[in-house]
Amino acid sequence: MTFNFDQWVDRSHSDSLKWHKYRDGDVIPLWVADSDFQSPPSVISALQQRVAEGVFGYGVPPAELLDLVVSRMQQKYNWAIQPQWIVWLPGLVCGLHLAVRALTTPQQSCIMPSPIYPPFMQAAQIDGRSWHAQKVEQRQQRWVPTVEQIEPPLNGNEKLLMLCNPYNPGGTVFRREELLEQLSFAQRHNLIVCSDEIHCDLLLEPGARHIPFASLSEDAAERSITLMSPSKTFNIAGLGASLAIIPNNKLRKQYSSAARGTIPDVNILAYVAATAAYRDGEEWLAAQLDYLRANRDLAVARINAMPGLRMLPIEGTYLGWIDTKAAQLNDPYQFFLQAGVALSNGKDFGDSKFVRINLGCQRALLDKALDRMAAALAAR
C-alpha cells in the first residue's frame, strides 16, 4: 500500500491544540509533539466501525490488545513481559505524575536529565518534590546524560531516577552501555527508575535499536516503571492510550493505588485505535519513518547552514533540538515566532538558548518554515 505523507490536512480552524494556539496570525506551528499526518487507514477504519455501533459505555482493555503488547515487546525488543504487568493510562504525562506521587514522599527527591521534556519537572513541582538535574552533554554528535557530575551533591534522600529514551529533546537513542551506566547509578543509590519510552518506535538512524531499560537485567526490571504508548508513533495522542509496564508486584500495586479515583480510565475509542495500530500499522509506520528521515536530513542540512544555528542529527523522535547560542539572540523563541515560525521554547526544557522543532509535518510546510527562519537570520 502507498501512503501519502505530503497530503495536506487543514487543521488551522479545527480543535487542534497545535494549530489553535497561533490561529490568529501567519504562523507555522512546529512546536507540540503532534504530527500533521493522517493516522494509518487501519486505525481510521477501526474507529469508524466502532462508532457505527452507536453505544459508548464503559470499556475494558481488549484481550487482543494485551496480546499485541506482549508480542510486540518480545518481537521488537526481545523483552518478555507478562500481561498482568501492564497498567493502562489515559496519557503518558499522568504516568510521570503517578510515578512521582506513588513512589516518593515529600521528603524524597527525584533525579532527571536536564534539559528535559517539561512535564518531568512539572511532575516534581506539582507534587511538591525537589529534584536534581542530571546534566546532558554533547558526546560525539549525540546528547548523553552524565553520571559523574550528579553524584557529589546527592544526600541519600533521592528515590526516583527519571529517564527519557529516546531522549526528548535531542533525539538520542541510548546504547546498551549508556543504559547500563544508568542502571549502575540506580543500584548504587537504591533508586526506582521511571523510563519514558514513548518515542521508542520512531527510530530514524539506520542501525539504531531501542533497548527498554527494564530489559537490561532482572534487577533493572524489578526497580523500573516503563512508560510507552502508540500515541506519537501513529498520531493518536488526542485519544489517550498509554501504558506502564511494571514487573515488580509491590511497585505496581503502589502505582495502581495512586491512580485509583484520580486518573480516569482509558477511552474506549483509544483502545480501538491502539489495537488497530499495533495489529495493522507496521507498513504505515515504515513509510512514515522513511518520510521523517528525509525531513530530518533536510532540516539538519538547512539549519546548520544558517548563521549561528546548530542542530545535531536526531537518532529517534521527530523533534530537533536547535542550539542558537552562536546567533546571540536575546529570545530565540520570540525571534522565530516574529518570523512566522512557532517552535518550542527551550526555556521550558531548561535551556533558553535552544528551541525545539517538530519535523512531523508535510515537507513543503517544513521547507516554508525553514525559509522563514533563514530569511529572519539573514535580515538581522
Q: Output the CA torsion 249→145→359→32 (10° steps).
A: 60
Same topology, domains 17-41+282-378 and 52-280? Answer is: no
Whether the CB-CB separation of 243 and 212 falls below 8 Å is answered with no
Report which residue type is found at 202: L
Determine the Cα–Cα distance for residues 312 and 44; give it in Å rounded to an integer.
35
166 close to 179: Cβ distance less than 8 angstroms:
no
pLDDT at res. 13: 87
pLDDT of 150 over the 90 cut: no
Torsions phi, psi for 129 (to 5 deg):
-105, 145
Question: Which strands sit side by side in the sheet containing 109-114, from one edge to the other?
Answer: 86-89, 242-245, 224-228, 192-196, 158-164, 109-114, 130-139, 142-145
Q: How many residues does the chain have?
A: 380
What global pTM score does this model have? 0.97
In the numeric block, the cell 525553514 is attached to 370
Q: What is the pLDDT of residue 135?
A: 95
- Dump pLDDT digits (tens) for 287-298: 999 999 999 999
The total of other beta-carbon atoms located within 10 Å of residue 371's CB is 15
Mean pLDDT calculated for residue range 128-141:
95
* Exposed e or buried b per residue across 297-322, where buried means at least 16 C-beta atoms within 10 angstroms of its C-beta: eebbebbeebeebbbbbbbbbbbbbb
CATH fold for domain 52-280: Aspartate Aminotransferase; domain 2 (3.40.640)
Q: For the chain, give the mean pLDDT.
A: 97
Q: How confident is the model at residue 128 (pLDDT cuts 50, 70, 90)?
A: very high
Tens digits of per-residue pLDDT, 72-108?
Answer: 999 999 999 999 999 999 999 999 999 999 999 999 9
Between strands 86-89 and 242-245, the pairing is antiparallel
3-state secondary structure at position 63: helix
* Residue owning grid cell 502505582: 255
State pLDDT tens for residues 321-342: 999 999 999 999 999 999 999 9
Distance CA 173, CA 228 (A): 15
In sequence order, the 6+-apart residues with CB closer than 8 A to the CB of 110 are 100, 104, 123, 124, 129, 130, 131, 132, 158, 159, 160, 161, 162
pLDDT confidence band for 232 (50 / 70 / 90): very high
Q: Which of 199, 237, 197 is nearest to 91 (CA)?
A: 237
Question: Domain boundaries in the chain?
Answer: 17-41+282-378, 52-280
Q: What is the pLDDT of residues 177-197, one digit of tens each?
A: 999 999 999 999 999 999 999
- Asked if the model's pLDDT at residue 149 lies above 90, the reply is no
d(CA 281, CA 258): 33
CA distance 99 to 96: 5
- The Cβ of residue 241 has, within 10 Å, a number of other Cβ atoms equal to 27
- Residue 75 is predicted with a pLDDT of 98
* DSSP 8-state secondary structure symbol assigned to residue 151: S
Q: With beta carbons less than 8 A apart as the criterion, state whether 245 and 81 touch.
A: yes
Q: Is it true that domain 17-41+282-378 has CATH number 3.90.1150.10?
A: yes
273: nearest Cα among 44, 86, 62, 63: 44
Q: How confident is the model at residue 1 (pLDDT cuts 50, 70, 90)?
A: confident
Q: Are the beta carbons of 214 and 245 closer than 8 angstroms? A: yes
